[in-house]
Amino acid sequence: MLEKPKFGMIRDVKVSQNDNSDYYVKLEYNGMTPIYYMNLIGRGLMEDMVESLSNEETIGLYKSMTKEEIEHPETIPLDKKIKLMKVLNKSKYIDFMRNFIAVLFYTAHSEYKLSLESIFADYLPDDLMENDAIVEAATEILNVKVTNKLKKNVNTLKREMN
């Protein structure tokens, strides 16, 4: 019997409800995630991520960060973290993260062929973007998988231009 390959990243996130009925949400990133993103959202994952972060405030803040802060976000001083969170709280970024989380959920449960609407209505919590555990897990996956791929693409482009 064939088994699902062991590649990508999987996070099981505990979601606590007000009525103490906790449950787990499984988020997964693998090679199919960008394809699922395109199929469900109708746009490319990389393009959406770049667009959600590409405004003058974000670019200025990014340019002011040291190499250490970029590679190890936990070293960013609190005041800079607060500025960064205010900038990232823009609607394009929130929309991107909501869609990204839904696609990570879809990837983990792709055998069920869920619709985007049913994922938001039936499986993810209503206060999705206020759920620190889910946002943290999605951000970790985003940092490890998507950002690394983006860095590789930028480095390849730089080599080709030289």
Residue keyed to tokens 């996956």 = 141
- The answer to whether residue 153 sits within a structural domain is yes
Question: Are the C-beta atoms of 21 and 142 separated by less than 8 Å?
Answer: no
Structural domain containing residue 117:
9-55+90-161
Residue 66 included in any domain: no
Q: Identify the H or E element spanning 139.
A: helix 132-141
Q: Is residue 119 part of a domain?
A: yes
Give a yes or no: residue 67 inside a domain.
no
pTM of the model as a whole: 0.74
Residue 100 lies in a domain: yes
Residue 124 domain-assigned?
A: yes
Q: How many domains does the chain have?
A: 1
Q: What is the pLDDT along the chain (162 residues), one digit of tens a residue?
A: 445 556 789 999 998 877 778 899 999 999 899 999 999 999 999 889 888 877 777 777 777 888 888 777 778 888 888 887 777 777 788 899 999 999 999 999 999 999 999 999 999 998 898 888 999 999 889 888 777 776 777 677 677 776
